[in-house]
Amino acid sequence: MADLVTSLSKEPESPLLRSQPARGVRVLIYSHDTFGLGHLRRSRAIANAIVGDWPGASVVIISGSPVIGNFEFGSGVDYIRIPGVTKLPDGDYRSLNLNVSLDEAVGLRQALILQTAKAFQPDVFIVDKEPTGFRGEVVPALDYLQAAGCRLVLGIRDVMDEPTLLVPEWERKGAKEALVRYYDEIWVYGLKDVYQPLMALDLPEEVNGRITYTGYLRREVPPTPSLTKYPKITKQPFILVTTGGGGDGDDLIDWVISAYESDPDLEQPALILFGPFIDRDKRRAFVERIAKQPKLDFVSFDNKIERLMKKADAMVAMGGYNTFCEALSFDKRTLIVPRTRPRLEQYIRAVETERLGLVRMLSDYKEPRTPERMAQALRNLSFQPRPSEVTIPDLLDGLDRVQERLKALLEPIPLFKPAYHQAAE
In angstroms, what CA-CA distances link 385 with 161, 238, 328?
A: 28, 17, 12
pTM: 0.88
Q: Cα torsion at 47, 49, 53, 56 (round to 10°)?
A: 20
Q: Are residues 174 and 251 in the same domain?
A: no
Q: Are residues 209 and 255 in the same domain?
A: no
Answer whether residue 331 is part of any domain. yes
pLDDT at residue number 22:
60
Domain count, the chain: 2
Mean pLDDT across the chain, nearest whole number? Answer: 89
State which residues form the domain around 188: 15-218+396-409
Given a contact cutoff of 8 angstroms between Cβ atoms, the answer to whether 153 and 56 are in contact is no
Question: Phi and psi of 226, rounded to 5°?
Answer: -75, 145
Answer whether residue 224 is part of any domain. no
pLDDT at residue number 262:
97
Q: Are residues 353 and 404 in the same domain?
A: no
Answer whether residue 418 is part of any domain. no
Answer whether residue 194 is part of any domain. yes
Q: 232: buried, middle or exposed (CB in 10 Å: 19+, 13-18, 0-12)? A: exposed
Q: Are residues 379 and 403 in the same domain?
A: no
Q: Are residues 167 and 253 in the same domain?
A: no
Q: Are residues 196 and 236 in the same domain?
A: no
pLDDT at residue number 395:
97
Q: Are residues 251 and 400 in the same domain?
A: no
Q: Are residues 155 and 247 in the same domain?
A: no
Q: Are residues 90 and 191 in the same domain?
A: yes
Report d(CA 380, CA 409) in Å as an integer.
46
Strand 314-317 relative to strand 239-242, pairing: parallel
pLDDT at residue number 72:
87
Please give the order of strands across the beta sheet that includes 270-273.
296-299, 270-273, 239-242, 314-317, 333-336, 360-361
Q: Are residues 405 and 383 in the same domain?
A: no
Answer whether residue 106 is part of any domain. yes
Answer whether residue 22 is part of any domain. yes
Give residue 180's identity as a one-letter amino acid code: V
Neighbouring residues of 201: CB distance < 8 A, sequence distance ≥ 6: 166, 167, 170, 176
Answer whether residue 2 is part of any domain. no
Q: Are residues 375 and 259 in the same domain?
A: yes
pLDDT at residue number 91:
67
**The CATH number of the domain where 348 resides is what?**
3.40.50.2000
Q: Are residues 286 and 173 in the same domain?
A: no
Report d(CA 332, CA 241) in Å as an integer.
12
Answer whether residue 189 is part of any domain. yes
pLDDT < 50 stretches in the chain: 1-10, 14-21, 414-425
